[in-house]
Amino acid sequence: MDLVIFGVVWIILSVLAEWGFNHIRANTMYYLISNEGTIAHHAFNFLTTVLTPIFLFVIWYLIFAAIRFHAKSPDAKPSPRQSTKNGLFTTVWITGAIVVNVLFWLHPTAADMEQIFASQLPSKNRHDLIVDVTARQWEWIFSYPQYHLTQTVNAAGQDELVIPVHRKVEFRLRSYDPFHTYDIEAGVIHSFWIPAFGLKEDVIPGETRYEYIVATHTASYYTNPEVRVQCAEVCGPGHPWMEAPLKIVTARQFKAWIRHQQLLEHVVST
């Protein structure tokens, strides 16, 4: 009877919890507009779906045992039926734990990482837009070597990142100060994070790191603050303000923006 009560309550709790998570996911305020971020989001949803009943099993087991088998009085006599080992329970628990861990290693970990790594193969990156991203205290600097642009800014003179929708972008990430001469490895660690893309990458002094993204929708920081570049690694007193606006535009709008930036750089250089 104890097993029946425990099992029924556990099933009911699991169903309610899964329904609640699905409801939250369907009505979440999280904004995601990249292929790679969608892969990570699906992985998170899969993990929470599988782990929710396991988590509730452990919690409900502790609560049920505390309620069902607590001593009702200080003078209670030991139960005539006692055991210190349960081979069946131990076998099932260890086997289940191994199966779950192997499952998680295969999916989503290995399966999703294979998708992300495959997108980075040179054979699939022949027409990428390359954006050099330089992190300095406390500023993001964007340059487009294919278009001979060394620093792109908006009308207010603020560093601005603009990329076309549905085109793979290769971000080359470096941490150093291009405006001062010093040891290139003497900078600090930053973290390149665009909330709307669902991914982030640490930017390490002395290293060049890469991140590949395909944006799925046009968007702008000026209509949604999650469409921005934000430092996600504490890098000094200016860290909270180390951000830059991002625009995701159509291919035609991107070409027009590139021409405008090239004109600006020509005017500045002359």
Mean pLDDT of 185-199: 87
Specify the pTM. Answer: 0.77
128-269, what's its fold? Immunoglobulin-like (2.60.40)
Instruction: Pick the more confident residue, 181 or 87.
Output: 87
- C-alpha 201/C-alpha 179 separation (Å) is 23
- C-alpha 70/C-alpha 64 separation (Å) is 10
- C-alpha 173/C-alpha 164 separation (Å) is 19
- C-alpha 66/C-alpha 25 separation (Å) is 33
At residue 183, does pLDDT exceed 70? no
pLDDT at 139: 94
In contact, 190 and 204? CB cutoff 8 Å: no
pLDDT at 22: 82
- Please report, for residues 56, 65, 210, 213, 227, the alpha-carbon distance to residue 10 in angstroms, rounded to integers and kept in the order given: 7, 13, 45, 41, 41
Contacts of 104 (CB under 8 A, 6+ apart): 47, 50
At residue 162, does pLDDT exceed 90? yes
In contact, 221 and 245? CB cutoff 8 Å: yes
Mean pLDDT of 108-128: 76
At residue 70, does pLDDT exceed 80? no
